[in-house]
């Protein structure tokens, strides 16, 4: 049903109350045992990176100890962490992945 406003009424813009969802970084951690090639394949498989980008991120983690794989809403970040950890365990690698509020 259409609502009519008295033309003398001043309509104030409603304040925007919906905040964007908090975002989370998925961070990959270095270790001494996981093969470089395996890390590159994880970045391609779970983060949709091409081979070159995946290699750059892997080398950054290798040299600096950690690196960001992507930034996602909480549920997506949590699923990625689970997938990476479980896939790494299946392949007997100690690769660690965590999420942090961005
Ligand atoms: N440091 C590992 C090696 O020398 C490679 C590696 C890179 C492991 C990134 C984990 O998240 C990682 N084989």
**pLDDT tens-digit readout, 27-76:** 999 999 999 999 999 999 999 999 999 999 999 999 999 999 999 999 99
**Residue 66 Cβ contacting ligand 1 at under 6 Å:** no
pTM of the model: 0.85
At 83, the pLDDT band (50, 70, 90 cuts) reads very high
CA 86, CA 79: separation in Å to the nearest integer?
10
**For the chain, percent of residues with pLDDT exceeding 90:** 79
Of 51, 4, 31, which Cα lies nearest the Cα of 96?
A: 31
pLDDT number for residue 2: 44
Query: Does the pLDDT at position 6 exceed 50?
Result: yes
> Which two tokens mark 63?
């040299």
Cβ of 35 less than 6 Å from ligand 1:
yes
Are 93 and 34 in contact, with CB atoms under 8 Å apart? yes
Which ligand 1 atom is at minimum distance from the Cα of 58?
A: 9
The CA distance from 16 to 25, in Å, is: 26
């Amino acid at each position: 049903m259409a609502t009519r406003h008295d033309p003398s009424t001043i309509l104030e813009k409603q304040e925007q109350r919906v905040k964007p969802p908090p975002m989370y970084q998925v961070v990959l951690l270095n270790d001494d045992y996981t093969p470089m090639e395996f890390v590159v394949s994880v970045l391609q498989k779970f983060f949709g990176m091409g081979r070159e980008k995946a290699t750059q991120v892997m080398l950054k983690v290798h040299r600096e100890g950690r690196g960001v794989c992507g930034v996602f809403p909480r549920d997506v970040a949590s699923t990625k962490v689970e997938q990476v950890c479980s896939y790494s365990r299946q392949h007997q690698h100690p690769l660690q992945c965590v999420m942090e509020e961005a």
